[in-house]
């Protein structure tokens, strides 16, 4: 219920949203949890395993129970987010919230039957029960268990919301904007440092927003507001609210998740979340501390909450989570809850302190507004869907208290998580019964305030200033004088108590339904290491990563194994601190944002002609150019092949890698990277070249043109352009640093078009300012040209087996030249051709691509062993001479012609001896490329066959298990068409 | 007689205003990459200084003299833009034409740093990356050259073939930044 006059958002307007279909009226500034509690809704979810009724436990991101599904149009399921913490989600008009893990409704959950079976479902149950029969696991047990257990479900629909990733840089990152964080940020900001202050809350101030404590003689939240006003006016400070720093990584980098628009109605253009990578010169961890519970019988009923959360709901949101609140604590801090409630006029049914009377701090004793039970133990609780009674044994006897809210404090755990992200382990401090960060565990990260085990407000302020000064010193900056405002400085007085006596299940981990007994059983079954206990019981897993339960669970384990807590240690805290949606981490990685699109200069013209595109690496290349009346790609492809063989075709080959190699040692350098010799190439000539990897296998092939005495242009395949460029850089910088050679990629500078066919020269000469002839431009010649006054390059090379040229012009003229070439080709009875025709043309000629040189082939395998020059060394030469790489038994490149020319064959098929069974042990090779040759009116294939070169003329069995083909093929030379190469030179 | 018409890498899409930033094409026609031969950096630098008033830039540096400018473009290489190649340079350096291979634009506006923070992984704060500073880095998934050309202006160069992807990435980033509550 709301408490009149309380809450920092007391003046906020009404906000209407829905919870499980029913309208709920909240207040601007509320979290869903605050609004639900204001409306006396205590039951908000069902537990993971036993489907126990559960309510709100905390007021922060550590919430284990109140996980809900949120979104607009939840019924449709699109865009709804599961497992959202009701304690984090802010309310807005039209927000829809749904409880999870229940059917058909929250109050009547069919699977609550699991709870009755609880005696059989203890820790290790799955491991022991579902062992046999083994094949039942995937098909039966796992789906059943997953259905029964688990958290919220995703909609399955594609996410059409926006998300973002971003980078930020600062001198000092301050994590947490409570008293310590604000003081640290203020100190560093006044020193002129670039400061990022990040806080996971919607409003900065940390516990100052949740307490009635004074700072500097006024309300704590007012002091916070004053500091924030100063900070936000400074140009060197960036305030990041709703931003959780989720991980600490190497060299001062941090991951952070910002909830940008999750507090607003969905569908806007703003990103839902932003995942930040923050690079900080230094960082202050002022993340505060998390209150921990105490295990007692049936301590999971809705209405049983953390004492600090009850204070937060009261003081920040003006909400009393119960009408008669009982407070249970083992420390002085719990007394604040009772005092704040009583001061606000809320009935306090009792304050149960576990300590004997003499051990109580000064605060509780002064009250008198409510009964105080010392040496108190809660032995039972009652209430089916929510707390109704608390049974307590205390110094004066025993008692059943009628109460609908029990505020529990078992002490505070400093939020040490980030300090452990680089394998650091926290240290146990007996005096405050808590783990604190080990200094220097993450280089450059300084813990301060409650995160460092200092809990008083004064202590936190002082710690923040101290940490900022240390950070500034490390950054080489002078710290200014900053006065500390006055604040309370109560000592931390806590008497550790983890488990209370009494019958019934005592819950440790609410999110994973782990009890004290489960942990004890793990110890009894010798899972004594805390890491083993975690995995055996699942304590500390799942979205909350055991923030509420870790320390209590290991305390129970320590007790069960007869060790100290310090010896037992904690499990490893890993990033992220709190859940990060994959959508945020992968933001931008869909549609156009998945990878850059590389478009050729002829792209637009190709699209105009209806050419479908095929992806080649990042490039988009025209597959074929359909003409009216052509129903299939094959018709277009056959026509384009015939066009090239009969007239002239034009193809955009700009995507092939072009690498400029210059320098006095360029020839020698190329001799080292190519298997064959390039230094002897005359100026104005082109040579085919083969590059090997260090291991002797073929890396890439292509041409090398000598443009000048000290200048070569290497071409690579489209696929290997980046690879070869990198390889050449490595050779130049690392393997042959003494050579004077400069390498530059010029792939993008030149638009390059292949002009191929018997009429190729006619077409080229129609374009050039000065025509060429066999004498001026023989086969494998190259040189500078002028085309409409534009300086270009001409190479007489062919990948089709026809008389062919490649014309290169600066890319800005590519689009224009393409249109001219295609128009002229059409006038000559030819036209544009695409990748499909290019592939058929090269298969007819037995030219290889990366389908053949797939990383496993050697020069020997492809029949080019003699290209590895005997006169010089080259990369991969020594390895290529190993006996294993030169054996006749190896699969060798062959041509394959179906005995029935109309029998279709495809790449990926396996080769067997005729008559042999088509089973793996009999496989003798495989098909790498195949296509229909309109020139030879037959299907043709290239492939690798054991001893293939010696088997020309033999008939083998080609079996394509995937496509259900079984075809007899004749083995032949890979060059099917014009083996003498007369057409090339013609 | 044929005639060739030049097209720009952005295919007429610039200038454009997206989400509060201005995008304008940055002409780099005729740009050449100069990579001095071994030990010839000083000689190349001297020629450039004498004939164009430009130094050979060190890592991350740029210089400008009138319409001519020079950008560091990687270890021992620089991009000369807006000036003819001075005589004598080719004797001491490998020179390649690059102006057509580059799609270059200027992005400017009060929130330009915020927009680039979505795509560029390096520190672009004025203290770390003042005016005139250049870097070879990433814009989204693209390798790029990023140069600060003003208090609220940067020049970005990517491969020409990726011009469309650059625009798409900048548009997406700018619109998200602009739409923030």
pLDDT of residue A16: 97
Residue of B nearest to A161 (CA): B176
Inter-chain touch B6–A816, beta carbons under 8 Å: yes
Q: Does A78 have pLDDT greater than 60?
A: no
Residue B23 tokens read as 């995008």
Tell me which residue in A601, A662, A749 faces B94 most closely, judged by beta carbons: A662
Per-residue pLDDT band for A267 (boundaries 50, 70, 90) equals: confident
Cite the beta strand spans of A538-612 per DSSP E.
Answer: 598-599
Contacts of A768 in chain B (CB under 8 A): none
- Return the residue matching tokens 């994590």: A175
Question: Do A703 and A689 contact (CB within 8 A), yes or no?
Answer: yes
Residues of B in contact with A725 (CB under 8 A): none
Is the CB of B91 inside 8 Å of chain A's CB atoms?
A: no
Model confidence over A579-589: pLDDT tens digits?
999 999 999 88
Residue A152 has pLDDT above 80, yes or no: no
pLDDT band (50, 70, 90) for residue A104: confident
pLDDT in tens, A485-540: 999 999 999 999 999 998 999 999 999 999 999 999 999 999 999 999 999 999 99
pLDDT of residue A156: 76
Q: Which of A169, A817, A820 sits opposite B123 (nearest CB)?
A: A169
Is B169 in the A-facing interface, judged by CB distances under 8 Å?
A: yes
Contact at CB, A788 and B179, closer than 8 angstroms = no
A661: helix, coil or strand?
strand
Q: Which residues contact A451 (CB under 8 A, 6 or more apart)?
A: A176, A180, A285, A286, A287, A288, A289, A414, A415, A416, A437
The residue of chain B nearest to residue A268, with distances taken between CA atoms, is B179
How many angstroms away from the CA of B150 is the closest CA of chain A? 19
Name the DSSP class of A91: P
Mean pLDDT of A592-606: 95
Question: Which of B93, B162, B176 has the CB atom closest to A164's CB atom?
Answer: B176
- What does the mean pLDDT of chain A come to? 94
User: What is the per-residue pLDDT for A87?
Assistant: 98
Q: Is the pLDDT of residue A76 over 80?
A: no
b/e A257-275 (16+ beta carbons within 10 angstroms → b): bbbbbbbeebeeebbbbbb
Mean pLDDT across A377-386: 95
Residue in B4, B125, B172 nearest the CB of A194:
B125
User: What's the pLDDT at A821?
Assistant: 98
pTM, 2 dp? 0.94
DSSP designation for A329: E
Q: How much of chain B is helix, strand and coil, in % rounded to 5?
A: 25, 35, 45
- Find how far residue A496's CA is from the centre of its chain: 40
Q: In chain A, what is the greatest distance between 2 CA atoms, to the nearest angstrom?
A: 117
Q: What is the pLDDT of residue A365?
A: 52
Are A261 and B99 inside 8 Å of each other by CB? Answer: no
Which residues does A45 contact at the CB level (< 8 Å), separation at least 6?
A: A54, A55, A65, A66, A67, A68, A99, A100, A101, A102, A106
Chain B contact set for A745 (CB, 8 A): 101
Q: How many CB pairs under 8 A join A and B?
A: 152
A377-382/A372-373 β-pairing:
unpaired
Contact yes or no for B94 and A592 at CB 8 A:
no
Kindly tell me if the per-residue pLDDT of B23 is higher than 90. Answer: yes
Nearest CA in chain B to A165: B118
Q: Are A409 and A307 in contact (CB under 8 A)?
A: yes
What percentage of chain A reaches a pLDDT higher than 70? 97
Percent helix, strand and coil across chain A, each to the nearest 5: 25, 30, 45
pLDDT range class, residue B129, cuts 50, 70, 90: very high
pLDDT at A126 over 70: no
Residues of A with Cβ-Cβ distance to B6 under 8 angstroms = 812-813, 816
Q: How many helices (H) and strands (E) does chain B have?
A: 4, 11
Asked if B55 has any chain A CB less than 8 Å from its own CB, the reply is no
Q: Give the pLDDT score at A154.
A: 76
- Within 8 A of A816 by CB-CB distance, chain B residues are 3-7
Q: Residue A363's pLDDT is what? A: 60
pLDDT-based confidence at residue A440 (cuts at 50, 70, 90): very high
Mean pLDDT of the region A735-745 = 96
Residue A862: the pLDDT is 96
User: pLDDT tens-digit profile of B7-16?
Assistant: 999 999 999 9
Q: Among residues 9-28 of chain B, which lie with CB inside 8 Å of chain A?
A: 9, 11
B181 neighbourhood in chain A, CB within 8 Å: 260-261, 264, 270
pLDDT tens digits, one per residue of A296-317: 999 999 999 999 999 999 999 9
Contacting residues for A46 by C-beta, under 8 A, at least 6 apart? A52, A53, A54, A99, A100, A101, A102, A106, A109, A111, A112
Q: Which residue has the higher pLDDT, A364 or A702?
A: A702
Q: Would you list the DSSP string of A174-219?
A: EE--SHHHHHHHHHHHHTT--EEEE-SSSSS-GGGGT---EETTEE
Question: What distance in Å separates the CA atoms of residue A580 and residue A876, rounded to the nearest whole number?
Answer: 46
A269 neighbourhood in chain B, CB within 8 Å: 175-176, 178-179
- Let me know if A475 is exposed, middle or buried by CB neighbors in 10 A (0-12, 13-18, 19+): middle
B-chain CB neighbours of A271 within 8 Å are 176, 179-180
In this predicted model, what pLDDT tens digit does every residue of A324-370 receive, in sequence order? 999 999 999 999 999 999 999 999 999 999 999 888 776 655 567 89
Q: What is the pLDDT of residue A155?
A: 74
Q: Which residue of B has its CA nearest to A770?
A: B1
Minimal CA separation from B180 to chain A, in Å: 5
Mean pLDDT of A362-390: 86
What's the confidence (pLDDT) of residue A268?
85
């Amino acid at each position: 219920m709301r408490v009149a006059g309380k809450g920092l958002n007391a003046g906020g307007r009404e906000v209407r949203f829905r919870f499980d279909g029913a309208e709920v009226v909240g207040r601007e500034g509320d979290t869903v949890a605050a609004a639900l509690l204001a409306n006396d809704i205590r039951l908000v979810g069902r537990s993971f395993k036993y489907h126990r009724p559960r309510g709100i436990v905390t007021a922060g991101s550590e919430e284990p129970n109140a996980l809900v599904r949120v979104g607009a149009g939840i019924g449709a399921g699109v865009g709804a987010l599961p497992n959202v913490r009701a304690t984090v989600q802010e309310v807005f008009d039209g927000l829809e919230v749904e409880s999870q893990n229940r059917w058909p409704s929250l109050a009547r959950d069919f699977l609550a039957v699991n709870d009755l079976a609880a005696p059989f479902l203890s820790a290790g149950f799955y491991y022991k029960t579902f062992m046999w029969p083994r094949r039942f696991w995937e098909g039966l047990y796992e789906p059943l268990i997953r259905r029964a257990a688990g958290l919220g479900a995703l909609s399955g629909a594609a996410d059409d919301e926006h998300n973002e990733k971003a980078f930020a840089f600062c001198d000092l990152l301050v994590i947490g904007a409570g008293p310590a964080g604000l003081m640290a940020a203020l100190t560093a900001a006044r020193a002129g440092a670039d400061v990022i202050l990040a806080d996971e809350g919607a409003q900065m101030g940390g516990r100052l927003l949740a307490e009635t404590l004074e700072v500097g003689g006024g309300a704590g939240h007012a002091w916070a507001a004053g500091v924030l006003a100063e900070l936000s006016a400074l140009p060197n400070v960036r305030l990041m609210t709703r931003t959780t720093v989720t991980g600490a990584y190497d060299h001062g980098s941090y991951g952070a998740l910002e909830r940008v628009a999750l507090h607003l109605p969905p569908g806007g253009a703003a990103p839902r979340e932003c995942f930040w990578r923050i690079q900080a010169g230094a960082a202050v961890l002022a993340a505060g501390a998390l209150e921990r519970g105490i295990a007692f019988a049936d301590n999971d009923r809705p209405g049983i909450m953390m004492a600090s959360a009850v204070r937060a709901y009261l003081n920040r949101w003006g909400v009393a989570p119960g009408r008669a609140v009982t407070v249970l604590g083992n420390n002085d801090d719990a007394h604040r809850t009772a005092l704040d409630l009583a001061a606000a006029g809320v009935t306090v049914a009792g304050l149960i302190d576990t300590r004997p009377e003499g051990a109580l701090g000064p605060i509780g004793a002064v009250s008198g507004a409510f009964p105080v039970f010392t040496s108190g133990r809660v032995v039972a609780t009652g209430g089916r869907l929510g707390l109704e009674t608390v049974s307590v044994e205390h110094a004066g006897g025993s008692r059943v208290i009628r109460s609908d809210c029990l505020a529990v404090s078992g002490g505070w755990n400093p939020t040490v998580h980030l300090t452990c992200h680089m394998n650091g382990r926290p240290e146990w401090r007996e005096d405050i019964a808590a783990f604190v960060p080990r200094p220097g565990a993450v280089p450059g990260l300084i813990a301060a305030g409650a995160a460092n085990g200092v809990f008083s407000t004064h202590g936190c302020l002082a710690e923040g200033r101290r940490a900022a000064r240390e950070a500034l010193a490390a950054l080489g900056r002078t710290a200014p004088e900053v006065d500390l405002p006055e604040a309370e400085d109560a000592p931390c007085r806590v008497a550790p108590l983890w488990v209370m006596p009494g019958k019934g299940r005592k819950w440790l981990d609410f999110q994973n339904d782990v009890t004290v007994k489960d942990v004890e059983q793990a110890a009894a079954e010798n899972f004594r290491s805390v890491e083993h206990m975690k995995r055996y019981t699942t304590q500390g897993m799942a979205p909350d990563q055991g923030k509420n339960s870790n320390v209590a669970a290991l305390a129970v384990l320590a007790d069960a194994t007869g060790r100290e807590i310090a010896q037992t240690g904690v499990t490893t805290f890993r990033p992220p601190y709190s859940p990060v949606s994959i959508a945020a981490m992968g933001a931008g990685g869909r549609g156009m944002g998945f990878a850059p699109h590389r478009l050729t200069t002829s792209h637009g013209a190709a699209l105009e002609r209806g050419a479908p595109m095929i992806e080649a690496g990042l490039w988009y290349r025209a597959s074929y150019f359909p003409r009216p009346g052509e129903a299939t790609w094959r018709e277009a492809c056959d026509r384009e092949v015939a066009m090239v063989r009969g007239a002239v075709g034009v193809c955009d080959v700009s995507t092939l890698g072009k690498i400029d190699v210059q320098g006095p040692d360029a020839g020698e350098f190329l001799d080292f990277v190519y298997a064959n010799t390039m230094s002897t190439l005359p100026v104005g000539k082109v040579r085919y070249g083969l590059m090997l990897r260090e291991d002797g296998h073929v890396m890439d092939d292509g041409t090398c043109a000598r443009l000048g005495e000290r200048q070569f242009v290497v071409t690579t395949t489209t696929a290997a352009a980046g690879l070869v460029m990198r390889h050449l850089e490595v050779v130049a910088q690392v393997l042959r640093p003494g050579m004077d050679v400069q390498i530059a990629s010029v792939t993008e500078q030149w638009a390059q078009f292949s002009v191929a066919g018997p009429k190729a020269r006619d077409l080229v000469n129609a374009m050039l300012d000065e025509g060429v002839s066999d004498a001026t431009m023989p086969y494998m010649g190259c040189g500078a040209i002028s085309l409409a006054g534009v300086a270009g390059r001409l190479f007489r090379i062919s990948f089709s087996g026809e008389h062919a040229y490649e014309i290169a012009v600066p890319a800005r003229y590519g689009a224009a030249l393409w249109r001219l070439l295609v128009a002229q080709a059409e006038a000559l009875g030819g036209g544009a051709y695409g990748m499909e025709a290019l592939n058929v043309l090269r298969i007819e000629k037995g030219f290889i691509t990366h389908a053949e040189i797939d990383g496993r082939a050697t020069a020997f395998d492809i029949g080019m062993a003699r290209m590895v020059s005997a006169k010089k060394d080259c990369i991969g030469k020594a390895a290529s001479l190993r006996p294993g790489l030169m054996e006749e038994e190896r699969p060798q490149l062959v041509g394959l012609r179906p005995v029935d020319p109309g029998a279709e064959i495809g790449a990926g098929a396996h080769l067997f001896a005729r008559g042999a069974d088509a089973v793996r042990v009999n496989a003798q090779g495989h098909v790498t490329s195949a296509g229909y040759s309109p020139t030879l009116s037959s299907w043709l294939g290239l492939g690798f066959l054991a001893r293939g070169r010696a088997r020309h003329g033999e008939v083998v069995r080609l079996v394509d298990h995937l496509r259900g083909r079984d075809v007899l093929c004749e083995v032949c030379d890979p060059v099917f068409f014009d083996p003498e190469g007369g057409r090339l030179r013609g | 007689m044929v005639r060739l018409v030049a097209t720009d890498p952005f295919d007429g899409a610039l200038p454009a205003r997206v989400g509060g930033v201005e995008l304008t094409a940055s002409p780099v026609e005729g740009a050449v990459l100069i990579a001095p031969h071994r030990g010839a950096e000083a000689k190349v630098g001297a020629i450039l200084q004498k004939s164009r008033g430009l130094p050979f830039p060190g890592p991350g540096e740029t210089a400008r003299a009138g319409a001519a400018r020079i950008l560091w473009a990687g270890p021992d290489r620089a991009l000369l833009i807006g000036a003819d190649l001075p005589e004598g340079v080719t004797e001491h350096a490998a020179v390649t034409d690059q102006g057509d291979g580059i799609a270059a634009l200027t992005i400017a506006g009060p929130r330009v740093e915020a927009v680039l923070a979505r795509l560029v992984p390096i520190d672009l704060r004025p203290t770390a990356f003042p005016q005139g500073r250049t870097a070879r880095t990433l814009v989204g998934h693209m390798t790029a050259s990023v140069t600060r050309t003003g208090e609220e202006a940067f020049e970005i160069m990517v491969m020409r073939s990726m011009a469309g992807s650059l625009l798409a990435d900048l548009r997406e980033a700018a619109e998200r930044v602009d739409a923030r509550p």
